[in-house]
Amino acid sequence: MNIPSTISTLLIGIVLTLLSLWYGQNHGLMPIAASDEANQVDDLFDTMMIIATGLFLIVQGTLIFCAFYFRKRKGDNTDGPGLHGNVPLEILWTAIPAAIVVWISIYSFEIYNTLGGVDPMTAGDMHAMHSPKSHRGAAIAAPLETMPSDSRQIALGVGASPLNQGKSAELEVNVTGLQYAWIFNYPDSGITTGELHLPVGQEIQVNLSANDVIHAFWVPQLRLKQDAIPGRTAQLRFTLNRVGEYPLRCAELCGSYHGSMITKLIAHTPEDYQNWVQSQQIASQPNNSKALALNPTNLSDSQFLAPYAQEMGIDTQLVSEMHHSHH
Amino acid sequence: MTQAQLQPSGEHLSHHPHSEERRWQDYFTFSTDHKVIGIQYLVTGFLFYLVGGALATAIRTELATPAPDFVDPRLYNSLFTLHGTIMIFLWIVPAGAGFANYLLPLMIGARDMAFPRLNAVAFWIIPPTGILLISSFFFDPAQAGWTSYPPLSVTASQVGEAIWIMSVLLLGTSSILGGINFLVTLWKMRVPSMRLNQMPLFCWAMLSTSLLAVIATPVLAGALILLAFDLLIGTTFFNPTGGGDPVVYQHLFWFYSHPAVYIMVLPFFGVMSEVIPVHSRKPIFGYAAIAYSSLAISFLGLIVWAHHMFTSGTPGWLRMFFMITTMIIAVPTGIKIFGWLATMWGGKIRLNSPMLFAMGFISTFVVGGLSGVMLASVPFDIHVHDTYFVVAHLHYVLFGGSMFGIYTAIYHWFPKMTGRMINEPWGIVHFILTYFGFNLTFLPMHVLGLQGMPRRVAMYDPQFANINFICTIGSYILAVSTIPFLINAVWSWTRGTKAEDNPWQALGFEWLTSSPPSIENFEVLPVLTVGVYDYGMSDLSEVESRSSVEVKYPVGPDNEPVSATSDSQSK
Ligand code: HEM
Ligand SMILES: [Cu+2]
Ligand SMILES: [Cu+2]
C-alpha cells in the first residue's frame, strides 16, 4: 500500500483538520475557569481535544469507509490482496503518534511547571526529608523538623509558580479533611470555618491534611485536586481571578457519605474578604473542630443536601465509632 | 486440507472418534481437557457477568436521580465495590483465560496444556471464590471500592473486607497458575514446524498477558496480605498512627492493577488479530509489529502504575516520569489499531457478527485510548482524576475492550466450540443494541466528569441530573442487549445448524480439526506449511486447490515438511 496522496485524500485531510480545530476550541465541556492556572489547563485540554478529535474521526471514518467500500460483494468468494505489510507506512504510523505524545508531554510539562507542579519546595515527600541528597539544598532539608507548619515545609501537591518560588504565599489556609467535612483554619486570623472564603488576586496556599481516611480537595473551577492523606501533608497554591461561589468537593472515596462531603469555596473581592474576616473575628469563639465533624448539618448549607441531613445525623454514631477504632 | 499438513505423528494414537463424544455432565467434573476447562471458564465467567451487570444496573438506577433514594449510600458503596471486583476478577480475567485455554493448544497443534491438572485447579478455584465474594452481601460487604485503599478499607466493614481480600487473593492465585501454564504451553508444546514468530497473534497476546500475570500478581498478593494484617490483627503497615503509610499500599496495589488492565485487554487484542484477517480475507498487516507491540505493552505496562496516583502521594518530578512512560504506551497500541485498519483496507469484508463486534471493538477502544492519553497529561489528570471522566475512560477501555472482544471471539469460535452455527440475524441485532447502549451509557460520562461530578457517589448535584438520566437509559438498553445473545447462544448450541469444520475458510490450526474438536484435538499432528494469515496468497482462495499449495515458509530444521496430500485431513 502506498501512502495515499490523491486530491481527494488531501481534501478529506483539510476538512478533518478544520473540523478538529473547530471542535477542539468550541466543545464547551469545561466548567468556568476561576483562576489563571485553570485557563492554562484549558488551553492544554483544547489542544488535546483537537488532536483527539482528528484521530477519532480518522479511525471511525476508516471503519465506516471499510464497512461500505470493502464489503464483500455477493457471489465474490475470492480473497483480498495478499499484502503482508508496508514498512515505510508502519514506520510512519509509529513515528507520528510518538511525535505527538512527546510533544503533548513537553507541553504538559510546561503547563505543569507554570502551575507550580515542579516547585522544588514540593518536589520531595515527607519520607525523603531525612536524606538531604534527594534535595537540592541541605538548607531546605535540615530545619524541617523544627518548622512543622511553616510554608517552607516540603510537601506534596502543586507549589508556587516559577515567578513566586522562594516567596511564601500571601494567604495560607490549613485545610483538614475528616469524615465527612472540610475544616478551614486561617492561621493569620485564627478563624475556623466550614466554608472556604478567599480573596481574588492573591496567591493562596492551602495546606492539606486528613484526620481519619484519605480525602481529596477538589474545586472543578480551579482544575486543582490533591489528596489529603493521613500522616502526610500536602499543599496547593493558586490565585483566584473570578468572584463567585464554587463547589469544593471531596474526590476520594472516604466512606458512606463521601458523596455529601461538599462545601463551598467563596471567592470575594479583597474588600469583601476583609469584611468577612472582621465579621468572623467578632462572631467567633473559634469553633471546635470536633463539633463540626460530628454534626455535618452545621456546615453544609448547600441546598441539595438538606433533605438528607437527617440521615447524616444518624451517621454521627458511626463516625465516632470509626474515630475510636483507629489503632 | 488447508494450509497445514497433518502428518502422522510418531506416537501411536488410539482412534476414538465417536465413543468418546462429550456429554454435558463432563462440564461439571474435574476434567483435565483444556477444551472442557475453556468452556467452564467461559460459562462461569458469563454467569458472573450477569451478576456484575445486575449490580451495574442497580448502580445506574440509583444514579437516575440526584437523591440517594434507591439504595442507601452505604449499600451503594458496596454495590460499586463488588461490581468492579466481579467484573474484573470474575468476568474479564476468567474469560480471557477461558479463550486461552480453549484455543492455545489448538492453535499451536498441541494435545493439551502443559499441566492439565494444574489447569483444572486454576479453574476450580474460581466458582467457590466467586460465591464467597457474593455471599459477603449477607454480612457487611466491602465498601472501599475495588482499590480498597486503607485507611478506609480497614475501618469501613471488617467482615466484608476480609472476605474481599480472601477472594481477590484466591482469584489472583488462579490467575498466576493459569499464567504459568500458558507460558510453558506456548514455549514447549508448539508443533516443531511452528517457530515463535509464526505463532498466531493470539498466542503472542497470551504470552504477554501471562508474563504480566506472573510478574505482577504476586505484588498484589503481598499488598493484600499486609492489608489483611492491618485489618485483622491491628498491625500498622498502612496506618500512619503506627508509623505506616497508606501511600505504600497504593504503590503495591497499582503495581499489579495497572498491568492488570493489560491482562484484561491484551487477550482481546489477540482476538482482533485473529478475527479481522479471516473476515477481511487479507493477511494481518504488519505481523511482527503487532506481535512485538504486545510485548512492548507488557513491558511498559509495568512502569506506569503511578499515573493512578498523580493527585496522591506522588512528588512532582515523579509525576513527570510516569506521565512520559504512560504516553509512550499509546504508540504500541496505535500500531495495533492501525495494523487492524490496514488489514481491513482493500479486503473483502464479510460484515457478519464477529466482524461487526471486532469493528465495534476498534471503534470504542479508540475512544478509551484517546482519553487515556489525555489522562496521562498530569495537569489535565489533576482536574479529572476520580471523576466520571475516569469512569468513562475505564469503561471504554475495560468494558468496551473486553465485552466487544469477548463477543467477537464467541461469535467467531462458536462453530468450533459447539459444532453448531450461531444465528446471524440475531447476532446483528445483539450488536446494534450493544453498540448503542454502550455509547449512550458511557459517552456522556466524559462530560459529567469534566463538569465536576466525582465518582463513587450515590448523590450528586442536580445540575448533572439530565446527563445521568441519559446514562441510565443507556445502561438499560445495554442490559436488554444481553437477552438476544443469551437466547441465541443457548438455542444455537442445542439446535443450531451443524457447523462444518472450517465454516470461515480460516487458516489457523484450530480449524483443521473437527467441530467440536475430538478429545485428542488432532488425529495426527499438523505441520505448518503456509502461514496462518496467508489469505489471498497465490490461489489459496480457491478452497479446492488448497491441498496443492506449495510450502510458503521454511519450517524448523528438524522437521522438514512433507508435501501436501489432499486426503490426509482427518474428517
Ligand atoms: C466488563 C464490564 C465492566 C467492568 C470491567 C467494569 C468495571 C468497573 C470498575 C472497575 C468500576 C470502579 C469501581 C470502583 O470505583 O471501585 C466500575 C464502576 C462502575 N461501573 Fe462498571 N464495569 C463494567 C460494566 C459496567 C456496565 C455494563 C455498567 C453500566 C450499565 C457499568 C457502570 C458502572 C458504574 C455506574 C460505576 C460506578 C462509578 C462510580 O461510582 O465510580 N459498568 N466498573
Ligand atoms: Cu472525604
Ligand atoms: Cu470523600
Nearest by CB to residue B382, choosing from A102, A105, A225, is A225
B346 contacts A80? CB cut-off 8 A: yes
Q: How far apart are CA B136 and CA B130, in angstroms?
A: 10
Q: How far apart are CA B448 and CA B462, in angstroms?
A: 12
> Per-residue confidence of chain A (327 residues) as pLDDT tens digits?
455 567 888 888 888 888 888 888 888 889 999 988 899 999 999 999 999 999 999 999 999 999 999 988 888 877 878 778 888 888 998 999 999 999 999 999 988 888 877 766 654 444 333 333 333 333 333 333 333 333 334 567 787 777 777 778 888 999 999 888 999 999 888 888 999 999 999 999 999 999 889 999 999 999 999 999 988 888 888 999 999 999 999 999 998 899 889 999 999 999 999 999 988 887 765 554 444 444 444 443 343 343 343 344 334 333 333 343 333
Q: Chain centroid to CA B418: how far?
A: 21
Nearest to B280 by CA among B213, B347, B334: B347
Q: What is the pLDDT of residue A2?
A: 54
On whether the CB atoms of residues A194 and A260 are closer than 8 A, the answer is no
Which residues neighbour ligand 2 (ion) by CB within 5 Å?
A 215, 250, 254, 261
Q: How far apart are CA B249 and CA B231, in angstroms?
A: 13
> Which neighbouring-strand residues pair with A156?
A234
Residues of B in contact with A115 (CB under 8 A): 379
Dihedral sign of CA atoms B422, B424, B430, B436 in order: positive
Q: What is the pLDDT of residue A302?
A: 40
Report which DSSP code applies to A246.
E
| C-beta neighbour count of A145 within 10 angstroms | 10
Q: Where are the domains of chain A?
A: 7-68+101-115, 171-284
Tell me the domains of chain B and their CATH numbers. Answer: 34-530 (1.20.210.10)
* Phi (first) and psi of residue B113, to 5 degrees: -75, 170
Report which DSSP code applies to B490.
H
Instruction: Provide DSSP, A97-122.
Output: HHHHHHHHHHHHHHHHHHHTTT-GGG
Q: Degrees (nearest 5) of the Cα angle B297, B300, B301? A: 75
- CB proximity list for A18: less than 8 A, separation 6 or greater: none
Q: How far apart are CA A260 and CA A173, in angstroms?
A: 22
A87-115 and B353-376 helices cross at what angle (nearest 10)?
A: 40
Within 13 Å of residue A129, how many CA atoms lie on the same side as its CB? Answer: 22
> Which neighbouring-strand residues pair with B527?
B5
Q: How far apart are CA A22 and CA A41, in angstroms?
A: 18
| N-terminal to C-terminal alpha carbon distance within chain B | 10
Q: What is the pLDDT of residue B541?
A: 43
Q: How far apart are CA B562 and CA B568, in angstroms?
A: 11
Determine how β-strand A203-210 pairs with β-strand A234-239: antiparallel
Q: How far apart are CA B562 and CA B4, in angstroms?
A: 10
B93-107 and B201-233 helices cross at what angle (nearest 10)?
A: 150
CA distances, B175 to each of B171, B172, B223 (Å) = 6, 5, 16
Q: How far apart are CA B242 and CA B246, in angstroms?
A: 11
- Please confirm whether the linkage preceding B425 is cis (ω < 30° from 0): no
Give the nearest ligand 1 atom to B80 CA. 13
B313 contacts A259? CB cut-off 8 A: no
Residues of B in contact with A311 (CB under 8 A): 72
Nearest to B143 by CA among B164, B128, B126: B164
Q: In this predicted model, what pLDDT tens digit does every residue of B197-232 receive, in sequence order?
A: 889 999 999 999 999 999 999 999 999 999 999 999
Nearest to B369 by CA among A288, A60, A173: A60
Residue linked to cell 488425529: B523
At A277, the amino acid letter reads: V
Q: What is the pLDDT of residue B86?
A: 95
Residues of B in contact with A97 (CB under 8 A): 330-331, 334
Nearest to A312 by CA among B12, B68, B494: B68
CA distances, A136 to each of A235, B50, B272, B319 (Å) = 20, 55, 50, 18
If you measure from the C-alpha of residue B253 to the centroid of ligand 1, how many angstroms do you get, rounded to a whole number? 18
Give the nearest ligand 1 atom to B63 CA. 35
> What distance in Å separates residue B42's CA from the closest CA in chain A?
29
Query: Quick check: helix, strand or coil at residue A268?
Result: strand
Task: Kindly report whether the global pTM for this prediction surpasses the value 0.95.
Answer: no
Q: Which helix (H) or strand (E) holds B211?
A: helix B201-233
Which value, in Å, is the radius of gyration of the alpha carbons in chain B?
24
Q: Whose CA is nearest to atom 30 of ligand 1?
A: B475
Scanning B112-141 for CB atoms below 8 A from A yields none
On whether the CB atoms of residues B155 and B241 are closer than 8 A, the answer is no
Cell of A75: 457471489
Within 13 Å of residue A89, how many CA atoms lie on the same side as its CB? Answer: 16
Scanning B181-220 for CB atoms below 8 A from A yields none
Options 1.25.50.10, 2.40.170.20, 1.10.274.100, 2.60.40.420; which CATH number does A171-284 get? 2.60.40.420
| C-beta neighbour count of B92 within 10 angstroms | 29
Nearest to B37 by CA among B129, B99, B114, B85: B99
Residue A272 exposed, middle or buried by CB count within 10 Å (0-12, 13-18, 19+): middle
Q: What is the pLDDT of residue B447?
A: 94
Residue linked to cell 445483539: B430
> Per-residue confidence of chain B (571 residues) as pLDDT tens digits?
344 445 444 444 444 444 456 777 788 888 888 999 999 999 999 999 999 999 999 999 999 999 888 888 889 999 999 999 999 999 999 999 999 999 999 999 888 898 999 999 999 999 999 999 999 988 888 889 999 998 898 888 889 999 999 999 999 999 999 999 999 999 988 888 888 888 999 999 999 999 999 999 999 999 999 999 999 988 889 988 888 888 999 999 999 999 888 889 999 999 999 999 999 998 999 899 999 999 999 999 999 988 999 888 777 778 888 999 999 999 999 999 999 999 999 888 999 999 999 999 999 999 999 999 999 999 999 999 999 999 999 999 999 999 999 999 999 999 999 989 999 999 999 999 999 999 999 999 999 999 999 999 999 999 999 999 999 999 999 999 999 999 999 999 998 888 888 888 888 888 888 888 888 888 888 888 788 888 877 554 443 333 333 333 333 333 333 333 333 333 2
Scanning A259-318 for CB atoms below 8 A from B yields 259-260, 262, 304-305, 307-308, 311
Q: Which helix (H) or strand (E) holds B389?
A: helix B388-394
The binding-site residues of ligand 1, defined as CB within 6 angstroms of any ligand atom, are B 53, 56-57, 59-60, 80-81, 83-84, 87-88, 91-92, 145-147, 391, 394-395, 398-399, 402-403, 441, 455-456, 475, 478
Q: How far apart are CA B93 and CA B86, in angstroms?
A: 10
Cell of B33: 481437557
Which strands make up the sheet holding A181-186, listed edge to edge? A156-158, A234-239, A203-210, A171-178, A181-186, A191-193
If you measure from the C-alpha of residue B461 to the centroid of ligand 3, how many angstroms do you get, rounded to a whole number? 15
Q: What is the pLDDT of residue B30?
A: 85
Q: How far apart are CA B485 and CA B474, in angstroms?
A: 17
Q: In this predicted model, what pLDDT tens digit does every residue of B508-534 receive, in sequence order?
A: 888 888 888 888 888 888 888 788 888
Nearest by CB to residue B386, choosing from A251, A311, A325, is A251
Q: Chain centroid to CA B24: how far?
A: 25
Secondary structure (H, E, C), B262-288? HHHHHHHHHHHHHHHHHHHCCCCCCHH
> What distance in Å separates residue A278's CA from the closest CA in chain B?
32
- Number of residues written out for chain A: 327
B386 contacts A216? CB cut-off 8 A: yes
Nearest to B270 by CA among B255, B284, B281, B256: B284
- CB proximity list for B525: less than 8 A, separation 6 or greater: B6, B7, B9, B109, B191
Q: How far apart are CA A245 and CA A266, in angstroms?
A: 5
On whether the CB atoms of residues B386 and B447 are closer than 8 A, the answer is no
| C-beta neighbour count of B467 within 10 angstroms | 17
